[in-house]
Structure 1
Amino acid sequence: MKLENSLPLEYKTHQNQLNILGFWIFLGAEIMLFGTLFASYFTLVDRTGTGPTGAEIFEITPVLIETFVLLTSSFVIGLGIHAMRLGKKTAMMTFFAVTLLLGLVFLGFEIFEFVHYVHIGAGLQTSAFTAILLTTLGTHGAHVTFGFFWGLCILLQIKKRGLTTETANKAFIFSLYWHFLDVVWIFIFSFVYLKGMM
């Protein structure tokens, strides 16, 4: 009982602990998904046909902004979890709301980037390279979009029910998901964009 009392709110019940373990297993499957996309990308990156190469279409400024925005959102959600553990509902909700706003900013840049690629002739059917590039970026963007709506639902639940073991568990699991998306983006930034610009 003493050990249970010393646990953070999101770990307080046995069910909560099982939920978190289950989500780590789910993230293992997500790693396999993105691992497959990266392996496909590395296989097809030089198959540009008559289409453009990465060096011709990648621009460093928007990519740096996207990276800064997403990494900042990861830091902010960490502050949100810390506030949650201190029982500060308003601060926690504020940090989560800022995280979601930063997620929207990221998505805005990514949509602009997609439109730009298609406008300059780098669409899904242009080459194997552009197809796997857009598929990889689109899969990550779809995850961020899903994360935005998921996070919004959690915020509404916390506003209605307050910080309970159940809502804290959901918020913590969501934070793991958001951190995972940031880690995936670091790989995209490093091995897709930076490598592609060389």
Structure 2
Amino acid sequence: MLDTPAPAALPDAALDRIFREARTFSHFTTRPVADATLRALADLMKMGPTSANASPARIAFVKSPEAKERLRPHLSEGNADKTMKAPVTAIVGYDTEFYERLAFLYPHDPGARGWFAGKPAVIEETGFRNSSLQGAYLIVAARALGLDCGPMSGFDKAGVEAAFFPDGKIRANFLINLGYGDRSRLHPRSPRFAFEDFCSIA
């Protein structure tokens, strides 16, 4: 049987946009982000792999002035101004009852719910790890759609959860400011490791 030809790599222009020339932005232009763009972003992000396709991430896109004001008191001093000025802030959280949707998301194994239900340590580890992955997918998808990102910690988890996930089932993981970055206010890129500094091939 002949090997299937490998897919072609993305062109350099795409790799530049997503990785090489992409930056973390603290300042954005006033250009708004359309709701349709956020929907397209979510539709790309959701295709990334997660354990048992559990998809525990829950995203609150904070966009309106009223919603931004609800977020403001829970931001660290260093994050407040830039977050209030960003067109959108995505709160990346995870559902602590994600396993209740596995009958839909992972239908080929009816016992999958039992891997998690009643096991808080497994729920926490799986929810946190996979929502972190999904947040990273969101960054890559945003860049692919022409958006810029400013991911960050520096917020009061309990306050954000109470303000945006009041049912108590969703935990906040991290925040991502989204918009069209002001490149005139970027500082020089910080160094990155050489392959040998962080990788090995066994």
Q: Scaled by the length of structure 1, what TM-score is found?
A: 0.24
Higher helix share: 1
